Amino acid sequence: MAPGHPPFAMGIVMNVTVRSLLVAAAAALLVPAMSTAFAADQPASSPTRGAATAAVAAQAGKIAPYHARFGRTQPLIAIIGENSGTELTDYVIPYGVLQQSGVARVMTVATQPGPITMRPALRIQPQATIAEFDADFPEGADYVIVPAVVRRNDPALLAWIAAQGAKGGTIVSICDGALVVANTGLLKGHRATAHWATQALRAKVYPDVHWVKNVRYVADGRIVSSAGISASMPVSIALVEAIAGHDHAAALAHELGVSDWSTAHNSDVFRPRFGVNLMAFVHTTYSNAHLHAMQRIGVPVAAGVDEIALAFTADAYSRTGRSHAYALSASDAPLQTRHGLTLLPDRVVGGANPVDRVLPAFDATPSARMLDQALAGIAQRFGRSTAYGVALDFEYPGFRK
């Protein structure tokens, strides 16, 4: 995505305009809805809240334990991307988490040869095309992770995912990757979730799916789906738990800096509301780009860079409406991240296309906490309302205005 364009936001399908936000917020004034304050004021021990929580937990389900197939010593996991545009965090976070866990063989796959343009930033060279994957693994993957993509009706993508499901693979959608999976027909009759911003669209276009809100992820047999962008982290850890058990997942979560990977979540608090969060949306989706010059932010990369930290940072800075992130390297040669992802640098230090600002190199902060660090940096540079807008887009509950 070129700098100055609207961010690849709201679950990738919707570039939310200020007009639509105002309409949604006006509707919220006319039709009472549960606000952030209401949710906070309701006693945690109240019978109503307890019953609602139990009902959502029952709908969320639990990812079934892994059972080996085809004589494999570890499950085979394919993360599929569509070359013209695939959501960065949806694709990279599961890869980094699963690779760090050491419990599976993880393959990055694309529909066509060549790199994947990640949205809203970066470029990645996958390990295989879908044709190459099928030639090497005709029995199919044990798990297929489906991020949000630009071309969610791509025939090759839909046919491949449907075929993987028919071979017995568990399909795991991240954010609005659920719309891709819904287009294959695999979600019919199943419970599922996705980014909060597509709730009305999903209910209208896919009425044969039981859409669940206020949940971080949903497991219904061999169909697993997650809420908005930041849910890629907890659902990936939950998948590790299904493969290797709770203790292994807990140890991994501790390494990553994650304290909770449960399904508990409140998606309602992210919806636009006057006096609550509307100005944050206005800043990130409209006024920032129109009132400020776009800044080119260099994110230093080198061999062994933490792909989770990189994805969170580049994704967040490219959603502000005031900045776009570029992978800044000592050369334009492809490099391998910490866990073997092939990254194609965007800019070269001292090159012909300089950046306006270079972020500090990543430190020893646990990978999952790098989103907090990125949001803190955005708040310092562009204001707390902009950082809050980015967090709302990420559907990230860990940041408050």
DSSP structure string for 51-84 = HHHHHHHHHH--PPPP---TT-SS-EEEEEE-TT
* Annotation: CATH topology of 272-394: Rossmann fold (3.40.50)
Contact assessment for residue 201 and residue 222, using Cβ atoms and an 8 Å cutoff: no
Is the predicted pLDDT of residue 57 greater than 90, yes or no?
Answer: no
| The listed CATH number (3.40.50.880, 3.90.550.10, 2.60.40.10, 2.40.160.40) that belongs to domain 60-256 | 3.40.50.880
All structural domains of the chain with their residue ranges: 60-256, 272-394
Helices 384-394 and 370-382, axial angle in degrees (round to 10): 140
Tabulate helix, strand, coil % of the chain (nearest 5).
Answer: 40, 15, 40
Please write the tens of the pLDDT for every residue from 339-384.
Answer: 999 999 999 999 999 999 999 999 999 999 999 999 999 999 999 9
Residue 51 confidence class, pLDDT cut points 50, 70, 90: low
Same fold, 60-256 and 272-394: yes
Contact assessment for residue 124 and residue 143, using Cβ atoms and an 8 Å cutoff: no
Tell me how far apart the alpha carbons of residues 311 and 314 are, in angstroms, rounded to a whole number: 5
Tell me how far apart the alpha carbons of residues 241 and 226 are, in angstroms, rounded to a whole number: 16
Is the predicted pLDDT of residue 332 greater than 60, yes or no?
Answer: yes
Tell me how far apart the alpha carbons of residues 214 and 122 are, in angstroms, rounded to a whole number: 31
Q: What is the pTM of this model?
A: 0.89
List of E strands, 250-359? 295-300, 323-329, 335-336, 342-343, 347-348, 357-358
Which residues are 76's β-sheet partners? 105
For 293-318, what is the mean pLDDT? 97
Select from 184, 176, 182 the least CA-distant residue to 15. 176
For the chain, percent of residues with pLDDT exceeding 90: 79
